[in-house]
Structure 1
Amino acid sequence: MEGTAVDVFQISPSHSWIYPTVILCLFGFFSMLKPSEPFLIPYLSGPDKNLTSAEITNEIFPVWTYSYLVLLLPVFILTDYIRYKPVIVLQGISFIVTWLLLLFGQGVKAMQAVEFFYGMVSATEVAYYAYIYSVVSPEHYQRVSGCCRSVTLVAYTAASVLAQLLVSLANLSYFYLNVITLASVSVAFLVSLSLPMPKKSMFFHANPSKEAPPKPPGKDAFLEGPPKDQGPVCQGLFTISGNLDDDQLSSPKPGNVALRAFVQWFQDLKECYSSKRLFYWSLWWAFSTAGFNQVLNYVQILWDYKAPSSQNSSIYNGAVEAIGTFGGAVAAFAVGYVKVNWDLLGELALGIFSVVNSGSLFLMHYAANIWACYAGYLIFKSSYMLLITIAVFQIAVNLGVERYALVFGINTFIALVIQTIITVIVVDPRGLNLPVSIQFLVYGSYFAFIAGIFLMRSIYIICSAICQNEVQSSAGSQNPDGPHSEHLEGPRKVTMGTRL
């Protein structure tokens, strides 16, 4: 009997990933099942709220950007410290408050409060993807992450299709779309209460007695951690000062743990961004995500400008969002089967598709027809989702879980800072206060600037690779008995740098 009990105790942890994964996927599904979102602007500008386009554009929507920026870093730190679940629950509460205010609040101030709480929703989203790393074993990371991301995509597409059917066929009021959304996010909140509380986290509550998850072969030397005789990688969080004795390591003071975690974050970021390859992928990620979020935030206002709902125009926002999300998902899935030397041609792809993004935004600006505007948005969204998938992989391929979360968190923060600057200059009444049609001319020019940077850099990389290949070929032909020349396959992955 004792042997059986021991076997059960040893086997059960290997299956413990199933329950939290199912609960987390349910939370993700219901939190993203929001049929009201594709028709938010017609709802706000319609008889329910009777807000003007200028009030929505210049006074209400910027509050989301500002609140998201203010809340992101504190929430990012707090998420790891209090071990994820409380932040997921807080996100569920913020969802409910957002839609209660959206349903029953009136006036600009109430809608600004809506945007503040939705900023809280956005800031706490980091806990959804970070939670799983604290409750499942490393061999399940990829499977569980895929499930969590896929279910949110399915939910968003389903909600957009449902919204379009209810509006076009059942002639349902936008108010009741928000009622359905409130019911859905309320279910998400109740589901979040069932999540098991993690016993550890990636930074503040890391367990130095356990080995870090194994990394695939062929990664950069300094990211593979210290030599085996120096102990596990995760002990780095507790040994960076170099002067701590074993008693301090076994029971460190909370203040010391926090300080060591912050210093470790700084050192990790310094090492990661010292790689030119990772730096430029992160740069594109931050700048493009800022532009993408800005377009996403104001595109419905542009659609309403091109085909005002007050003139009883047929509105197909839900169908467009569904097609755009599905098309982006297909493009992102297909990229996994494309064999490309991303080291050599990756930045060329970033430049070319940034040109596509810029062109689609110019189309949305200049097109008088709403269908042309819809087409531009579909191209823009699919192109971005394709490229962000490549960028995510290129950044994450050489990073452990801790650095993956940290780099992505910093990239998100930088993107938000850039978006805030754009909002202050372009949208805010204290800035240029541009009308929405002119805004999209600015956004198109913004992506053209990004395209120019990466096209010039890609030309430099390709020319350097060709010259280096010629030099190596020449050296090999002059000294056939000497050391073998390396075949050039693009910039070497050792560009991640050496240990500082």
Structure 2
Amino acid sequence: MNVWAKLKSSGWVYPTTVLSLYGLFANCRVAEPFLTPYLIGPHKNISENVVTNYLFPIWTYSYLVFLLPVFLLTDFLRYKPLIVVQGLFLVTNYVLLCFGPGLPAMTLLQVNYAVVTSTEVAYFSYIYSIIPAENYQKATGYLRSAMLVGYTFGASLGQMLVSLAGLDYFYLNAITLGIVSVAFLISFLLPMPKRSMFFKGEKAVSSQREEKPGDNTLDQQVMDKDGTGSEAEKIERDDSNGCYSRQNVISASHLLWKSFRESYSSKSLIYWSLWWALATAGYVQVFNYIQLMWDHIEPSATASIYNGGVEAACSVVGAAAAFSVGFIKVTWTVWGELALGLFSGVGAGAVFLMAFTSSIWVCYAAYVVFKSCYMFLITITTFQIASNLSMECYALTFGINSFVALSLQTIITAIVVDEAALGLDIVTQFTIYGSYYAAISLLFLLRGAYTACVSRHSARHMEPDGAVISSERF
């Protein structure tokens, strides 16, 4: 008990520890790499075409509907309630998978899972509202490591249970139900943040008024009125109880608009955000439908499958690629866009290889390459954006970029996948995804070459202090 009390009083260690444990258990989804074989197998008996062209698109549409309101509610309700909701819906997700009969239950499952994914923003933002700024870097590292360990362990365990123990997919889902139930219980141990990033109550109103010359702050106005701080204290108490006045909401709107302008204040930030949105839309499409591609190349009913092992390998290799970013000495402002174009091209080649190969092992390897390239580039992009913005602006940028990516993904799904439109087969879909990534690669190769040429031209003609020099020195 003394250790627990010390953790609680440590300021940042306790919430970081609890949230890391939550992330570990919430992402330890043993059954996730085997979702498609489970749905099209004897347990649910849903055809591959229905899963591809009807069932999976429902998640995309639902996710788009939930994302924006959940993003605003996350800050308004101060993060913890949304994390608890995510834990609850994770539990419901696997209850449906274990015991929900037929297509209607699996349709509800897709809507249910959209709530889970839309509340991820609460997991990533919670820690910044409750710990000191000097601990942001450490806490972020612990949280992402916990997610990675949970996902890798879950995928590896699932593969071992299938390959070595011959366990039925139903029991994988039952085990996962138990694990995510632990995550749901852990979420209640999180302390409730005392502030939000945008809906800051009295402090937000005060800070906004301080920006206007000649205006008194809210506290000063109250003191001028009755000579005491009682009214200001009342507002603070109301704020701590989650009560927001109309003025608070207006203030939050102004702060959101100010953060938006700062987030997209330069061309370089816009281009980094553009790649984030474009590439993430394509990545999520490949991630969502890769199990159907694997099943197309080598049907799970007739052969052993290694989906869990491949996903575990992707996590380890992708994490190593992301970790290597910190040790690469490159001027990303000059060469970053060229790197985005180059590695996006590698990713496009990997997707084309997945589409046209008849070897499951080649498809596995191409998927590892594709996912590693994405994790490498998204790490660079995240760092470049976050290093130039305040935490409030970064949170908003994360939300907006995710919303744009999801909107693009929804358009692709509605045209390419949905049975109400083209309803294309899985090979044709991956051919289109490869072409999509090739277009991203070409765009950023051209933009990156232009940026590098302009930078080199400036360096050849300008000294650091701005003096013009001869290009012969170079």
Using the alignment, how far apart are the partners of 2:355 and 2:198 within structure 1? 45
Using the alignment, how far apart are the partners of 1:100 and 1:59 within structure 2? 21
**Where do 4+ consecutive residues of structure 1 move more than 3 Å?**
11-14, 206-209, 234-245, 247-253
Matches within 5 A, 1:120-131: 120-131=115-126
Compute the displacement of 1:199 (Å): 1.1
Q: How many residues align?
A: 444
Compute the displacement of 1:102 (Å): 1.0
Is residue 8–residue 14 contact of structure 2 (8 Å, CA) maintained in 1?
no
Using the alignment, how far apart are the partners of 1:120 and 1:238 within structure 2? 37
Residue in 1 aligned with 2:139? 144
**Aligned with 2:312 (options 322, 328, 341):** 322
Gap change, CA 1:403 and 1:106, over 3 Å in 2: same
Using the alignment, how far apart are the partners of 1:114 and 1:71 within structure 2? 15
Using the alignment, how far apart are the partners of 2:160 and 2:287 within structure 1? 22
Is residue 329–residue 385 contact of structure 1 (8 Å, CA) maintained in 2?
yes
Residue in 2 aligned with 1:288? 279
Matches within 5 A, 1:1-150: 15-150=10-145
Gap change, CA 1:292 and 1:245, over 3 Å in 2: same
Compute the displacement of 1:261 (Å): 1.2
2:397 is matched by which residue type in structure 1? V
Is residue 236–residue 264 contact of structure 1 (8 Å, CA) maintained in 2?
no
Q: Does 1:298 align with 2:289?
A: yes
Residue in 2 aligned with 1:380? 370
Matches within 5 A, 1:398-477: 398-472=388-462
Matches within 5 A, 1:253-264: 254-264=245-255
Residue in 2 aligned with 1:278? 269
**Aligned with 1:165 (options 131, 154, 160):** 160
Q: Deviations over 1:284-307 (max 9, x none)?
A: 001101111111000001100110
Residue in 2 aligned with 1:218? none
Is residue 259–residue 392 contact of structure 2 (8 Å, CA) maintained in 1?
no
Which range moves more in the overlay, 358-367 or 397-406? Answer: 397-406
* Gap runs ≥5 in structure 2: 1-5, 222-231, 470-474
Using the alignment, how far apart are the partners of 1:486 and 1:163 within structure 2? 63
Residue in 2 aligned with 1:204? 199
SS at 2:194 equivalent: coil
Is residue 203–residue 237 contact of structure 1 (8 Å, CA) maintained in 2?
no
Compute the displacement of 1:178 (Å): 0.2
TM-score of the pair, normalised by structure 2? 0.89
1:358 is matched by which residue type in structure 2? A
Matches within 5 A, 1:201-280: 201-205=196-200, 208=203, 236-237=207-208, 245-247=216-218, 251=235, 254-280=245-271
Is residue 207–residue 217 contact of structure 2 (8 Å, CA) maintained in 1?
no
Is residue 262–residue 393 contact of structure 2 (8 Å, CA) maintained in 1?
no
Using the alignment, how far apart are the partners of 1:380 and 1:289 within structure 2? 12
Using the alignment, how far apart are the partners of 2:212 and 2:439 within structure 1? 43
Using the alignment, how far apart are the partners of 1:103 and 1:452 within structure 2? 45
SS at 2:257 equivalent: helix
Residue in 2 aligned with 1:310? 301
Is residue 74–residue 82 contact of structure 2 (8 Å, CA) maintained in 1?
yes
Gap change, CA 1:244 and 1:257, over 3 Å in 2: farther
SS at 1:28 equivalent: helix
Using the alignment, how far apart are the partners of 2:195 and 2:112 within structure 1? 28
Q: Does 1:485 align with 2:467?
A: yes
Q: Deviations over 1:378-436 (max 9, x none)?
A: 10001100110000000000111111111111111111111101100110112211011
Is residue 7–residue 13 contact of structure 2 (8 Å, CA) maintained in 1?
no
Gap change, CA 1:240 and 1:427, over 3 Å in 2: farther
2:258 is matched by which residue type in structure 1? Q
* Gap runs ≥5 in structure 1: 1-10, 210-233, 477-482, 488-500
Using the alignment, how far apart are the partners of 1:486 and 1:40 within structure 2? 63
Using the alignment, how far apart are the partners of 1:241 and 1:115 within structure 2? 48
TM-score of the pair, normalised by structure 1? 0.85
Gap change, CA 1:431 and 1:17, over 3 Å in 2: same
Using the alignment, how far apart are the partners of 2:346 and 2:132 within structure 1? 40
Using the alignment, how far apart are the partners of 2:100 and 2:111 within structure 1? 14
Compute the displacement of 1:208 (Å): 3.4
2:430 is matched by which residue type in structure 1? F
2:217 is matched by which residue type in structure 1? D
Compute the displacement of 1:151 (Å): 0.5
1:247 is matched by which residue type in structure 2? L
